[in-house]
Amino acid sequence: MTTTLAPYAVEAFNVSADSENKIHDDAVASRFGFAGALVPGTAVFGYMAHQPVARWGRDWLARGTADCRFGHPVYHGATTVVRADSVDDTLALQVHSQGRLCATGSAALPAAQTPPSVDSFKLSTPPAQRPAANPTSLAEGLVLCTLSEATTREQASRWLADLRETDPLYESEQLMHPATLLRLCNAVLVQNVLLGPWIHTGSRIRNFHPMPVGASLSARAVVLRNHEHKGHLIVDLDVLVVIDDKTVAARIEHSAIYLPRQVREAQQA
């Protein structure tokens, strides 16, 4: 049986306009053939996450799953609509903006599983001098980690405002939004290698514990794959997000084009 949830509409906001990644800058993005700066995938996933939280509430933050794939850009200021169809206790998700299907994914609420141990992911320290992102600095099997970051109420409230999130759950229970997970996955790349313009292409998430506001969050990761596709260099990471160095929040497979074809061609020229 298929049930359609009420569509969720949001005015997209470029939360990364001031970031090091200039794909979120109008001038740079236009050189890649885009109409303007890309709203980051972390924010688009944030819009998508509204639907499973509306469907399952805190339970989804504690043990739910999701995946997201970004096919076309979402632009700042554009009305963006997340559609969700419930099929056999799984939500099929679609993100539409400016008449285009921009992202797809799904979410579910499976039975609880025992999380991997924190120690099963090795710990390392980000380098003081980041090497350029390439097949060597992101070699398969390489261990990457982030610095621990204490979350604050101000930070949590600002992130909810930036995402235009309307669900009262996060404020009432003082929880970080799940888009924080993918921000930490991006931080694994940013803190360990020096990147030019790059693009987050998708993620698969398994939640194990909600992230309380005030907790210290970090990410431990290993490079799963480093490969080329259509001239792009792509890295896939296996990431463990950890609360206060002891509790697993989620495990994520995170994919990004770390060296776009256009940048490689310019370098070679």
**Per-residue pLDDT band at 1 (split at 50, 70, 90):** low
- Residue 105 has what pLDDT? 97
Q: Which of 22-36, 42-56, 83-97, 243-257 has the lowest mean pLDDT?
A: 22-36
Q: Report percent pLDDT > 70 for the chain.
A: 97
Q: DSSP state, 167?
A: -
Pairing outcome for strands 232-243 and 216-229: antiparallel
Choose the weakest-confidence range: 24-28, 179-183, 247-251: 24-28
Enclosing domain of residue 17: 2-268
What per-residue confidence (pLDDT) applies to 269?
62
CB count, 10 Å around CB of 40? 25
Residue 89: which region, alpha, beta or left (left: phi > 0; alpha: psi -120 to 50)?
A: left
Residue 22's pLDDT is 63
pLDDT (tens digit, 9 = 90+) per residue, 184-194? 999 999 999 99
pLDDT at 240: 98
Q: Which of 189, 263, 208, 248 is nearest to 41 (CA)?
A: 189
Among the ranges given (153-162, 165-174, 254-263), the one the predictor scored with the smallest mean pLDDT: 254-263
45, 179 contact by CB (below 8 A): yes
Integer Cα distance of 189 and 126 in angstroms: 10
Compute CA distances 9 → 48, 68, 104, 165, 223, whole Å: 10, 17, 15, 10, 35
Q: Rounding to the nearest 10 degrees, give the CA dihedral for residues 205, 210, 212, 216.
A: -40
**pLDDT tier at 247, thresholds 50, 70, 90:** very high
Q: Count the domains in the chain.
A: 1
Which burial class, exposed, middle or buried, applies to 37 when counting CB atoms under 10 A from its CB (0-12, 13-18, 19+)?
Answer: buried
Residue carrying the six token digits 């509306």 = 54
| CATH code of the domain in which 252 resides | 3.10.129.10
Q: Rounded mean pLDDT of 244-258?
A: 97
State the chain's maximal CA–CA distance in angstroms.
55
Question: Looking at 13-17, 249-253, 263-267, which range is the least confident one?
Answer: 263-267
